[in-house]
Amino acid sequence: MAVYTKLDQNKIEEILLNYNLGKLDSFKGIEEGIENTNYFLSINKKKFILTIYEKRVKSKDLPFFSNVMSSLNKANFKCPAPIANNNNNTVTDFNGKKLMIVSFLEGKAKINLSPDNCKSIGVETAKMHKLTSNLKLKRQNDLSIKSWRGLFDSVKHQCTKINKDLPRLIEENLTDVEKNWPIDLPKGIIHADLFHDNIFFDKDNFSGIIDFYFSCEDFFAFEIAICFNALCFDGAKENLSFNVTKAKNFIDGYSSIRKLLDLEKQSIKVLSQGAALRFLLTRVFDALNTVEGAIVKVKDPIEYLKRLEFHKNSKNYEDYFF
């Protein structure tokens, strides 16, 4: 979440004329995140999140994101529910941009996850995969392995500003991943951005998942690889280390709902290496292409170098969960 499009009370009240929600009590911009503009809204003492879509989000994909959240919500999975406007659409046009209002999810993100938290996330991730495997919705992953070479080419000559060794390290890892990427694993709709700031807990109990704006069809095991990168490394920047206990707890939770195939286990190393590379590349791109005047916290790409080092040196899935 972030703030690129700045709104005052009059603008928000103008937006709310499209909805039958009531009177605006208060609002506040949300700085966390890097992709879209987000505001917290209090309306008639009820809480909502207003999202204006920027940057990578394509207008044609918004009905897909809305349908994923609505379908999961109707199946009692804990995630925000999109709110229909006066035209019974969940996507609204405003000043040349698209926006959505969704229900507020109670709880908050935990920066320091315990192994038990990771097990809970594993359980809920597998539940989500089971539910989405039945959906008749389609959206390709715009940030799949097919996009990484082009993304690298777009930053190759500038990324030395961040770290002089970045071009070489990215090229080495990208070559490895392209050579060893699996082609036939179980797939369905995944969240594709399960970082701790998108996973909420209420008094140490899982309370839901937010921000489905990267959700797409891809390997279920790629989601696990993203979670390993996002949730199972401890420390800061150059001192990061992989926490096998957290990863094992995540897998135990996940496997209690959906069993992994041997081929999925065997692919975890390259999928994890690829997931680290994907987030390194997009963070490098964002760091080099900041929007002047935007209220946003740009995420540090350098911490992903240590993750890549671990993945490149690991031998097989036993280095991740024994």
pLDDT tens digits, 46-71: 999 999 998 668 899 999 999 999 99
pTM greater than 0.75 (yes/no): yes
User: Does 3.30.70.870 match the CATH number of domain 9-102?
Assistant: no
CA distances from 311 to 50, 59, 135, 143, 186 (A): 37, 35, 33, 20, 22
Give the total residue count for the chain: 322
For residues 69 and 41, the answer to whether their CB atoms sit within 8 Å is no
Phi, psi of 33 (to 5 degrees): 95, 175
**Which residues of the chain form beta strands (DSSP E)?**
24-29, 37-43, 46-52, 92-94, 97-103, 108-109, 187-190, 199-202, 205-209, 216-219, 233-234, 241-242
User: Does 3.90.1200.10 match the CATH number of domain 109-319?
Assistant: yes
Over residues 275-318, the pLDDT tens digits come to 999 999 999 998 888 655 554 556 778 889 999 999 999 988 99
For residues 231 and 194, the answer to whether their CB atoms sit within 8 Å is yes
How far is C-alpha 302 from the geometric centre of its chain's CA atoms?
18
The Cα–Cα gap between 307 and 287 comes to 18
Residue 1 has what pLDDT?
42
Taking the domains of the chain in order of start, what are their residue ranges?
9-102, 109-319
Residue 270 has what pLDDT?
97
Burial class (CB in 10 A: 0-12, 13-18, 19+), 135: middle
Q: Is the pLDDT of residue 236 over 90?
A: no
Across 233-261, average pLDDT: 93
